[in-house]
Chains A and B, each alone.
Chain A
Amino acid sequence: MTYLGMPTGRGNISTPAKFPVLAETALANSQLRRNLANATTTIRAKRAGVVAELPDWQQLRAAGAAIKDDVLAHLGEYLEQLEQRVTERGGTVHWAPDAQAANQIVVELARQAGAREVVKVKSMATQEIGLNEALAAAGIPAWETDLAELIVQLGHDKPSHILVPAIHRNRAEIREIFLREMAEVDPRLSDEPAALAEAARRHLRRKFLLAEVAVSGANFAVAETGTLAVVESEGNGRMCLTLPRTLITVMGIEKLLPTWRDLEVFLQLLPRSSTGERMNPYTSMWTGATEGQQFHLVLLDNGRTATLADPAGRSALRCIRCSACLNVCPVYERTGGHAYGSVYPGPIGAVLSPQLTGLGGNRTNASLPYASSLCGACYQVCPVAIDIPSMLVHLRARAVAAEPRYSPERVSMAALAWAMADAGRWRRALRLGRFGRLFRRSRLLPPPLSGWTSSRELPVPPRETFRDWWQREGRDETTVVEAGRSEPAGRRLAETEPGASQPGPTESGAAG
């Protein structure tokens, strides 16, 4: 707990090592690279197609952002309204400050319901808190029913994408996992997708019919009516939400909508942004519980109020977990989700995971805001217009502020800033850069500059800086300005190899 009483996020939202280290492993995994490139390219195109169909997409985005900002501005009130409505309609609401509390609540509820096992609908929130592990430790196995989550679970693995968690697996691997882990599976199982899906369907059917307790997440909770909504593709959600006698839903406190009418905006934004469909196959909504059934809603904080506290960071809580940002991110496309360490990877993960856990004292999560070239593709596709690039820059400043005062980076940045602060100093500093010409035959530089020369030639510093040229002759309007040679990095070769080909004559400056 922070001293202000805002719970710090715990659970599977922390990375075990700094991003660049984990990324190196991922970059070398050619199977992963193929899977990711194929999947993200496909979903990107689908999303672009269905978004282009809507003439009012930008207004929908603006509405989505405004509705979520309203929720965040009045979060306490909406949560209390939600609790009231759910309770009126026969449900019970529980408040969990952090992952541990949430797990304890769910384990206790499952015990009270006499469950020997539970079935699960895919839920990022339950992965965040590590619920399956907590239930297993209490002797109550939890069975994932979403096909991709099932694959991850049977493979004793971790999800690597918000929407398609098993994206790092190919069909041959999935077949092997099923053969090894599923009881009563046909030993002649092929790796055809239809055959694999059928095997999963048979495996799950018994579980659905026998389960007494189901655990789900929720995409939306409507404060006005106490209604929860799950948006899904496979129908396993529908099975889990209706058959078992007891339903426990774990939901992040930010997943609210103020009114029933607001669903109109989000049910257009979400399917198009996530699976690239006009509408997903199954949307289930329920309010409270009917007689003979029990419904429990566990509201999860786990670092969300801490995130809310930062005005420049809180819009990350608008997120509706569509994963559109993951699918357009050039970094995610090449590293996959495991490199981020958290169940929330990619651009949104880079801003959400460190805010949930806090940046002070979490050196590895502090590397996440730097896992970006700030290209801005994520901001363009976010259905609730989260300005992720600006937020990444802001979180980098928070990360630096949490670092020790005299890190080597801080010292060199300060020295450079000092040189740049005064034009005279800067002119002299730029001239010193010419000493770099001494190193123009160097292949390797010391770290961190070695990061550059590991794959790129260095530019050769010029004999004269621009501002010196300007003072010497450039400012005189009668000077004939030559456009000059034009090889930032190639030039070193032309200079060291006699007879090397010169750039075209036009670049050597005919009279202007």
Chain B
Amino acid sequence: MRVALYVTCLVDGLFPDVGKATVRLLRRLGCQVEVPLEQTCCGQMHINTGYPKAALPLIRNEVAAFAGYDAVVLPSGSCTGSVRHQHAELAESAGDRELAESVRELAGRTHELSEFLVDVLQTTDVGAYYPHRVTYHPTCHSLRLLGVADRPLRLLREVAGIDLVELPQAESCCGFGGTFALKNAGVSTAMLADKMRAVLDTGAEVCSAGDSSCLMHIGGGLGRLRSGVRTVHLAQILASSR
């Protein structure tokens, strides 16, 4: 099947290894992966900060970029959420019916990574090998907006060599929240402190999640504390092999 990777601006510019891991993983599972470069960004930062119109050209980019692909895969729950739950409504508000229809159609074949693996490729054992103690943080968009439920955990459980430990109060928000992390840095830090405490309590070497944004925030805090715990994206764990 022709799969397009919606790499996301954060992965594109700051965490390209996540994108590379996703390509490696999907190819290993037999997908023909393409990355149409008209894509730029899903626009959620602008939308969520109060500048929705800025996202309109970005929505047009994605509709053009991903036309004709069987599936569009994103290594990000929040970006998938934006495409699925924000873009069509935005296009409607701007009076662009056609764009709204196109993006609705696109949303119907857009998948967050764990959704794609479990629901479309119908697999939970992706042939990974990752001999480390890992704890998994379910990011809020994946958890509450997309409802991915335990798909990521089911995938991680099948990873050979993994020591997967449950994260206490896993469903508590890590405190990133986009520009919230800057505008309300104090509260963001307080929430981060509790998330880090939970991670450290597991004794895990690695904290994983399906969103680079949350990982950047949690990893940034763990790094500042010189905790010795690192953050690794779900795609990177699943892409790892012997």
Q: A interface vs B, CB < 8 Å?
A: 19-20, 23-24, 27, 330-331, 334-335, 370-377, 379-380, 393, 396-401, 409-410, 413-414, 416-417, 420-423, 426-427, 430, 433, 448-449, 451-452, 454-459, 461-462, 464-467, 469-471, 474-475, 477, 481-490, 492-493, 503-504, 506-507, 509-510, 512
Determine the chain B residues whose CB is within 8 A of the CB of A398 once the complex forms: 50
B219 x A452 contact (CB < 8 A): no
Interface set, chain B 171-191, CB cutoff 8 A to A:
171-173, 175-191
Residue of A379, A457, A462 near B144 (CB, 8 A) is: A379
Determine the chain B residues whose CB is within 8 A of the CB of A423 once the complex forms: 37-40, 61
User: Distance (Å) between the CB of A499 and the closest chain B CB?
Assistant: 15
B184 x A503 contact (CB < 8 A): no
Determine the chain A residues whose CB is within 8 A of the CB of B224 once the complex forms: 455-457, 489
Assess whether B21 is interfacial by the CB under 8 Å rule.
Answer: yes
Q: What are 25 A-B contacts defined by CB distance under 8 Å?
A: A330-B175, A370-B184, A371-B184, A372-B177, A375-B173, A376-B143, A393-B50, A451-B182, A452-B181, A454-B189, A456-B189, A457-B220, A466-B16, A467-B37, A470-B35, A477-B27, A482-B20, A484-B16, A484-B20, A486-B231, A487-B230, A493-B223, A506-B129, A507-B236, A507-B240
- Closest residue on chain B to residue A21 by CB atoms: B186
A467 x B188 contact (CB < 8 A): no
B9 x A420 contact (CB < 8 A): yes
Known: A396-B49, A481-B21. 15 other contacts (CB 8 A): A27-B190, A371-B187, A372-B180, A375-B144, A380-B144, A393-B47, A396-B48, A398-B50, A413-B46, A423-B37, A456-B217, A456-B221, A465-B13, A477-B32, A489-B216
Known: A330-B175, A374-B177, A482-B20. A451 touches B216 (CB 8 A): no
B187 x A377 contact (CB < 8 A): no
User: Distance (Å) between the CB of A357 and the closest chain B CB?
Assistant: 18
B20 x A483 contact (CB < 8 A): yes
Determine the chain A residues whose CB is within 8 A of the CB of B188 once the complex forms: 373, 451, 455
Determine the chain B residues whose CB is within 8 A of the CB of A483 once the complex forms: 17, 20-21, 24, 236, 239-240
Residue of B46, B189, B242 near A506 (CB, 8 A) is: B242
CA distance A455 to B231 in the complex (A): 16
A512 x B24 contact (CB < 8 A): yes
Residue of A380, A454, A466 near B19 (CB, 8 A) is: A466
B223 x A456 contact (CB < 8 A): yes
Determine the chain A residues whose CB is within 8 A of the CB of B158 once the complex forms: none
Determine the chain A residues whose CB is within 8 A of the CB of B242 once the complex forms: 506, 510
CA distance A471 to B220 in the complex (A): 30
Determine the chain B residues whose CB is within 8 A of the CB of A433 once the complex forms: 13-14
Chain B, interface size category, equals 35 or more
B14 x A488 contact (CB < 8 A): yes
Q: Which 6 A-B pairs have the closest CB atoms?
A: A373-B177, A456-B220, A451-B185, A396-B50, A484-B17, A400-B50
Known: A330-B175, A375-B173, A455-B185. A464 touches B54 (CB 8 A): no
Determine the chain B residues whose CB is within 8 A of the CB of A331 once the complex forms: 184, 187, 191
B35 x A467 contact (CB < 8 A): yes
A466 x B58 contact (CB < 8 A): no
Residue of A373, A379, A400, A474 near B180 (CB, 8 A) is: A373
Determine the chain A residues whose CB is within 8 A of the CB of B86 once the complex forms: 393
Determine the chain B residues whose CB is within 8 A of the CB of A484 once the complex forms: 16-17, 20-21, 236
Centre residue among A414, A427, A464, A469 by max chain B CB count within 10 A: A469
- Closest residue on chain A to residue B192 by CB atoms: A455
Assess whether B74 is interfacial by the CB under 8 Å rule.
Answer: no
Assess whether B232 is interfacial by the CB under 8 Å rule.
Answer: yes
Interface set, chain B 5-23, CB cutoff 8 A to A:
7, 9, 11-17, 19-21, 23
Determine the chain B residues whose CB is within 8 A of the CB of A330 once the complex forms: 172-173, 175, 191
Residue of B7, B51, B172, B231 near A417 (CB, 8 A) is: B51
Determine the chain B residues whose CB is within 8 A of the CB of A486 once the complex forms: 17, 230-233, 236
User: Distance (Å) between the CB of B33 and the closest chain A CB?
Assistant: 8
Assess whether B140 is interfacial by the CB under 8 Å rule.
Answer: yes
Assess whether B131 is interfacial by the CB under 8 Å rule.
Answer: yes
